[in-house]
Amino acid sequence: MSLIDEARAVREHAYAPYSRFKVGAALRADSGAVYRGCNVENAAYPEGTCAEAGAIAAMIAAGDLRIAEVAVIADSPVPVSPCGGCRQKLAEFAAADVPVTLATTDGATLRTTVGDLLPGAFNTDQMSRV
């Protein structure tokens, strides 16, 4: 099953009763394992969880720490990019050149990289003093 197919399958489990905008994400870790996540909304609207964050949490819970590839899918007229917070989360666990495929349920795709999604990402280099 392709990474987009994994994201498409988990999207069906999204809990989106408020926005009705279901998103699925799948990532492949450096180990080769695939982790999936879907958005989970909450009546206290800002307390929901994005699909990308769910996939990252599953990866970390399983003991993997590095992302090798990402796929995100939504029912949208154009491919949907991760939110700003999820871009930063992806950058925490993926190199800038890690491929990202953004897709629609109708089959449109956009290929990019983690670095292109978040140029100038904040990282540990900015936290250390020389």
Q: How deeply is 120 buried, as exposed, middle or buried, from its count of CB atoms within 10 A (0-12, 13-18, 19+)? A: exposed
- Domain of 54: which CATH number? 3.40.140.10
Digit-coded pLDDT (tens) for 75-122 = 999 999 999 999 999 999 999 999 999 999 999 999 999 999 999 888
Q: How many separate domains does the chain show?
A: 1
Amino acid (1-letter code) at residue 76: S
Dihedrals φ, ψ of 11, to 5°?
A: -55, -35
Give the residue numbers spanning the domain of 44: 3-120
Is residue 43 a known part of a binding site? yes
Catalytic residue list: 52
- Give residue 127's pLDDT: 77
Give pTM, 2 decimals. 0.94
> Is 127 contained in some domain?
no
Q: What mean pLDDT is predicted for residues 11-36?
A: 98
40 is in an annotated binding site: yes
Is the residue at 96 inside a domain?
A: yes
Contact 108, 79 (CB under 8 A): yes
Task: Decide: 74 and 84 in contact? Cβ < 8 Å.
Answer: no
Q: Report d(CA 81, CA 56) in Å as an integer.
A: 16
